[in-house]
Structure 1
Amino acid sequence: MRIAIAIDSLAGGGAEKVMITLAKQFIELGHEPHFLVMEDNRYYETPDNLPVHQCFANDDKDFDRIGRLTASVNKLRAKIAEIESQVGKFDLFLSNLDKTNLMMTKTGVQPLYVIVHSSVEEELSRQFKLGPFAYFKKLRAKKALNGQHLITVSNGIAKEILSKSRLQPASIRTIYNPFEFNEIVSLSQQQNPYIPQGDYLIHVGRFAKQKRHDVLFEALKLTDNQLPIVLLCHNHKKAIKAAKKFGVEQRVIIPGFQSNPYPWIKRAKALVLSSDFEGLPTVLIESLACGTPVVSTDCPHGPSEILTGDLASYLVARRDPKALAQMIDAVVKCPPSLERAEILAKVDATRIAEQYLSLAK
């Protein structure tokens, strides 16, 4: 099959990483994935045999603006037709992230499935606090999902969409994110001279309000242990500025974006997730695969589907720095066994890729 994966860019976010993993697995299974990126903003490397088509010019930054949307959709539709004239018709279209979804749902391409990577309601709530313009821009993107075939990356997101009735999808189905565990384990064993020699904690995620670095830093201040924390994020200046507010800047290490974060995760005493909301937080599963314990807020959605059984006790209420600090101390003092992490069998890349391929049949 020939599969088009449409996405804003290949910047260093979770959705981008998930789609690259999925594309690699499609190739392994003998299929032909193509990336349709709206703009050329690339952190992640892609294999040579994975075509990446840029749909808009570098100086065409506001292609999703209301006044330009119709023209942008026509341009995207023409670009897809041009690509298909060169490589053949696509058997399946997978669309990701708001900007791309807004346009792809209007192109008329079929069969199209829109992948919902995060909580719709939490994202809208966040934008509402930023003012009416930000809110209605986000709401416009979410309303584009009406009448579409949706794939949610966790059961929690699917239940939210169905219970809130804000959206009326044509269909909805959960498919977890794919993970190539042999590759993760292999990459985690690579040497990196910049990794701290002593014990440390780790947080992986962009510096954004959703990730609640403020909660993380306040929890860090309250921990009995004095371990430093490695932040794998982009915005060094903002992260340090926030850490200074809580007096923990001396315990923060920010090496910048890492194309291979797994050695950093593997050598950590614990990975901490402090988010207000997620979809299916990739880093929790990657950490378990690396053999590193995790502590996470029990935020919507995903963590409670990942940390099940004995690991469920490492979920804490969101926005509660004291509870997060206590659990960090507990996991550092007495790390749990990860042998029965049930989620790992459910997210094997081959299994997930086959679920996606069944959409085109």
Structure 2
Amino acid sequence: MRIAIAIDSLAGGGAEKVMLTLAKEFTEMGHEPHFLVMTDSVAFDIPNGLPVHVCFASKDRDLKRSWHLAPAVKKLTNKIRSIEQEVGKFDLVLSNLDKTNRLMVKTKVSPLFVVVHASVEEELTRHAKLGPFAYLKKLWAKKALNGQHLVTVSEGIANEILQTKRIEPTSIRCIYNPFEFEDINALSQQESQGIPDSDYLIHIGRYVKQKRHDVLFQSISQMESQIPVVLLCHNPKKALKAAKKFGVGHRVIIPGFQSNPFPWIKNAKALVLSSDFEGLPTVLIESLACGTPVVSTDCPHGPKEIMTGELARFLVPRRDPKALASKLDEVLLSPPSLAEVDILAKVQAARIAQEYLALVK
């Protein structure tokens, strides 16, 4: 099959990483994935032979418009047609992230499935706090999903959409994110400069409000242990400034974005996630695959589906630094057994790729 994966860019986020893993698996299965990126920002290593088509020029004003989308839709439609004339028609099209989704649903390409990576309601709540313009822009982006075939990355997101009825999709199903555990294991064995020789905790995530670095820093300040915390994020200066504000600047190590975070994860005593909301937090599964225990907020959606059995005792309420600090101290003293982690069998890349291919069978 020839598969198009449309996305804002390949600039280093979780959705981008998920789709790159999926594309790699498609290729290994003998299929032909193509990336349709709206802009050419790239942070990940792109596998050799994986076609990446940049759909808009870097300073294209039509792409940046929030409301009048027709010119951008026309350009994108023509771009997809020209690609298909060259390589053949796409058998499956997967669209990701709001900016891309708003355009792709209007191109009338088919068969199109929109992948929902995060809680719709939590994103809307967050944007409502930014003012009416930000809220309406986000709401309009979500309303673009009406009448579409949706794939959610967790059961929690699917249930939320069905229960709130804010969006009325033509169909909806959950397909977990794919993971290449052999690759993760191999990458985790590589040497990486800068990894601390002593014990440390690790947090991985963009420096954005959703990830609640403020809660993380407050929890660090309330821990009994004085273990340092490594932050892998894109904005080290802002992160360090915030850490100093909460009096823990001396406790954090911020090397910046790492194209291979797995040696950092494997060598950590535990990984912490402090987010207000997620879709299916990739870092939790990657950490468990590396044999590193996790402590996470019980945020919508995903952690509860990942951290089952004994792992569930390390779920903490959102926005509760004291509870997070307590569980971080506990995981250092009494880590859970990772001998059997149910979620790992459910997210094998080959299994997930087959589920995506089955969308059009």
Per the TM alignment, residue 193 of structure 1 is displaced from its structure 2 partner at its CA by 2.8
Distance of 1:220 and 1:314 partners within structure 2: 16
Q: For residue 132 of structure 1, what is the aligned residue in structure 2? A: 132
Q: 1:115 to 1:67 in 2, by over 3 A?
A: closer
TM-score by length of 1: 0.99
Per the TM alignment, residue 68 of structure 1 is displaced from its structure 2 partner at its CA by 3.8
Give yes or no for the alignment of 1:354 onto 2:354: yes
Distance of 2:66 and 2:333 partners within structure 1: 53
What secondary structure sits across from 1:203 in the alignment?
strand
Q: For residue 5 of structure 2, what is the aligned residue in structure 1? A: 5
Per the TM alignment, residue 206 of structure 1 is displaced from its structure 2 partner at its CA by 0.3
**Conserved in 2, the CA contact under 8 Å of 1:64 and 1:103?**
no
The count of corresponding residues between Structure 1 and Structure 2 is: 361
Distance of 2:118 and 2:165 partners within structure 1: 16
Q: For residue 266 of structure 1, what is the aligned residue in structure 2? A: 266
Per the TM alignment, residue 241 of structure 1 is displaced from its structure 2 partner at its CA by 1.1
Correspondence list, 1:192-271, <5 A? 192-271=192-271
- Unaligned 5+ segments in structure 2 are none
- 1:303-345 CA-partner distances (Å, limit 9, x unpaired): 0000001111110001000000000000011211111110000
Q: 1:231 to 1:66 in 2, by over 3 A?
A: closer
Give yes or no for the alignment of 1:22 onto 2:22: yes
Kindly report structure 1 stretches of 4+ aligned residues shifted beyond 3 Å: none
Per the TM alignment, residue 61 of structure 1 is displaced from its structure 2 partner at its CA by 5.1
Distance of 2:52 and 2:357 partners within structure 1: 20
Correspondence list, 1:1-361, <5 A? 1-60=1-60, 63-361=63-361
- 1:80-122 CA-partner distances (Å, limit 9, x unpaired): 0000000000000000000000000000000000000000000
Distance of 2:67 and 2:121 partners within structure 1: 26
Q: 1:64 to 1:173 in 2, by over 3 A?
A: farther
Q: 1:160 to 1:313 in 2, by over 3 A?
A: same
Distance of 1:136 and 1:3 partners within structure 2: 32
What secondary structure sits across from 1:63 in the alignment?
helix
Distance of 2:46 and 2:313 partners within structure 1: 37
Distance of 1:206 and 1:182 partners within structure 2: 26
Distance of 1:113 and 1:8 partners within structure 2: 16
**Conserved in 1, the CA contact under 8 Å of 2:62 and 2:69?**
no
- 1:255-297 CA-partner distances (Å, limit 9, x unpaired): 1110000000000000000000000000000000000000000
Q: 1:67 to 1:309 in 2, by over 3 A?
A: closer
Moved more, 59-68 or 47-56: 59-68
- 1:22-58 CA-partner distances (Å, limit 9, x unpaired): 0000001000000000001110111111100000001
Moved more, 105-114 or 55-64: 55-64
Distance of 1:123 and 1:64 partners within structure 2: 20
Per the TM alignment, residue 62 of structure 1 is displaced from its structure 2 partner at its CA by 5.1
Moved more, 66-75 or 325-334: 66-75
Per the TM alignment, residue 156 of structure 1 is displaced from its structure 2 partner at its CA by 0.2
Distance of 2:153 and 2:224 partners within structure 1: 36
Per the TM alignment, residue 185 of structure 1 is displaced from its structure 2 partner at its CA by 0.4
Per the TM alignment, residue 64 of structure 1 is displaced from its structure 2 partner at its CA by 4.7
**Conserved in 1, the CA contact under 8 Å of 2:179 and 2:347?**
yes
What secondary structure sits across from 1:11 in the alignment?
coil
Moved more, 255-264 or 61-70: 61-70
What secondary structure sits across from 1:156 in the alignment?
helix
Per the TM alignment, residue 66 of structure 1 is displaced from its structure 2 partner at its CA by 4.0
What secondary structure sits across from 2:34 in the alignment?
strand
